[in-house]
Amino acid sequence: MQLEQLGPYLWRIPRDAERGMRVPGLVVADERLLAAIKSDASLEQVANGATLPGIVKAALAMPDIHQGYGLPVGGVVATDAERGVVSPGAIGFDINCGVRLLRTALEAAEIGDRMERLVEALFAAVPTGVGSRGSLSLDAKALDEVMARGAAWAVGRGYGLGEDLGRIESDGCIPGADPVRVSERARERGRRQLGTLGSGNHFLEVQVVEEVHDERAASALGVRAGQVTVMIHTGSRGLGHQVCTDYLDVTGKALGRYGITVPDRQLACAPVDSPEGRAYLGAMGAAANFAFANRQVLSHWAREVFERALGIGARDLGMAVVYDVAHNIAKEEQHAVEGGTRRLLVHRKGATRAFPGQPVIVPGDMGRASYLLLGTEVAMRETFGSTCHGAGRLLSRTAAVKAARGRRIDQELRARGVVARATGRDALAEEMPEAYKDVTEVVDVVHRFGISSRVARLRPLGVIKG
C-alpha cells in the first residue's frame, strides 16, 4: 500500500480511482506505530473505506488501528447526511462499546491493603464472561424503554443519580432510536444482559491517578494525583451484536437495489435516507442506548460494592461520573468542509469523539496505564472531532494465548501491583499487556498531533475481566 508522509504524525494513502477510492486515506501515526500498523490489513481496509458513496474529505485512521471487520478498528469515515450511506460494518458489532470513568474521594494509600477484598467483591457482584446474564430480567415493555431512553431509564429506576446524565456523551441517549427496528432475536439476546460486563477486552478496573499532566483541566474534572478512580469498559452486549448481524444482511441485499458496489461486502451499506438506512440507524440508536444504560447500572453496582467492601458511606466514597464516551457509533454532526458547513454522518469504529473541551477516556492494557484527555479544535479541523480509543491490539487473541503458554499472567500482574480476576481459562492470557501497543505511545501521538491533549495518567490497581 502506497503511503505519503505529510508530517511527523500524518500519512496519506493517495486516492486510487482504479480501486474505486473517492477520497484519499489519512493515517495518524508516527513511524514506530506505523510499522505495527503495516503488519495486518488495516491500511487496505482504510482504502476500502474510502470507496463508500458520499464519503467526505478522507477515510481516517487513528494510531491505535488494527484490522477489523470491514473498516479497521480505529477507523473514522464521514458521509454526507443526505446523499451518503450508512455502513454497519464501519461501526462494528459491539455498538456503543464505550468507556466510563468514575472518580472517588478516596486516596489509593487508604485502600491498598483492602484491594484483594475489593476486587473479589466486584468480581462476585458484576456478571462477566461470554453470554453472562445479570440479575435484571427485562420484559418487552421495559426493554423498549431502555432502548428508547438509555441511561435515563436506569437513573429513573434508582440506578445512579440524575447528575450522572449530564456527564455522558449525548446525555446517555441517542435521539432517533427506534426499538421497533430491533429484531426479536436481538431482543432475546439482550433481555438478561443489562448490567453485565461481557468478555474479551471489556473490564472494570480500579485505578489510581498516577500523574496529572494538566492541573487546571484535571481540577475542573475533579481529578487529582493519588486519587482512586474506576473505569468501566463494555457495550451493548449480545443485543448490539445481533443488530449489526441483522443489518449487515439487510444492507448486503440492498447493494444491488441502489447500484452500490464495494470492494469488500463487509462494508455493505445503504443510502442514509433509504428505508434500509433509516431502519439501521433506528436500531443502532436503540442498541447504543442499551449500552449507555448498561454502563449506568454497572456504575451503580460498583458504588454499592465499594461502600459494602470498604465499610464506608456514599458521602465518604464520593463516587461520581467524570465522563462516559462511545466508541462504536455513527452520529449526525455539523462539520466544516471545503469552506462551508455540512451535515455529516460520522462513523467512528474504535474511535472516540473529541470535541473541544470534551473529556476523552483512553483505556490501555491491564498492566500499564490508561489516560484521561480533552478534545481540541484541531480535532474538529483534522479528524471530524475524533481521536484514538485505546492502545490497539498487537497480537490476536489466539496468538496471545499461545505466547502466554506456561506462564501465570495473574502472578505477573500481581508483581506489577495489579490484582486481577477473570472468568474463563484464557481470559487473562488473551488480554495480557504484551497483546497491546503501549497506550502511552498512542497518546503521545494524538497529543503531539493536537487532536486531544493529555490531562492525567491512570495506573491499574485491580481489574475484573470476562
Backbone angles phi, psi at 67, to 5 degrees: -60, 135
Residue 309 confidence (pLDDT) = 96
pLDDT in tens, 357-406: 999 999 999 999 999 999 999 999 999 999 999 999 999 999 999 999 98
Sequential DSSP letters for 333-401: EEEEETTEEEEEEEEEES-EE--BT-EEEE---TTS-EEEEEE-HHHHHHSSSEE--S--BSS-HHHHH
Write the DSSP symbol of residue 213: S
pLDDT tens string 399-436: 999 999 989 999 999 999 999 999 877 889 999 999 99
Percent of the chain residues past pLDDT 70, beyond the cut: 100
pLDDT of residue 426: 85
Domain edges within the chain = 4-465
**Separation CA 62–CA 388 (nearest Å):** 5
The residue among 23, 164, 108, 11 whose CA lies nearest residue 461 is 108
Q: What is the pLDDT of residues 189-223, one digit of tens each?
A: 999 999 999 988 899 999 999 999 999 999 999 99
pLDDT average, residue stretch 448-455 = 98
Give 127-171 pLDDT, tens digit per residue: 887 777 777 889 999 999 999 999 999 999 999 999 999 999 999
pLDDT at res. 91: 98
Residue 128 C-alpha cell reads as: 462477566
- Which residues in 237-319 belong to E strands, given as ranges? 270-271
Segment 36-43 mean pLDDT: 95
pLDDT at 459 over 90: yes
> What integer pLDDT is reported at residue 280 of this predicted model?
98
Q: What is the mean pLDDT of residues 35-60?
A: 97
Q: Is 335 a catalytic residue?
A: no
Task: From the candidates 66, 202, 233, 389, give the one annotated as an active-site residue.
Answer: 389
Cell reading at 21:
477510492
Overall pTM surpassing 0.95 (yes/no): yes
For the 4-465 domain, the top CATH level (class) is: alpha beta
| Residue pair 388/442 in contact by the 8 Å Cβ criterion | yes
Give the chain's mean pLDDT.
Answer: 96
Residue 262 has pLDDT above 90, yes or no: yes
What is the predicted pLDDT for the residue at 135?
79
**CA 451 – CA 431 distance, rounded (Å):** 27
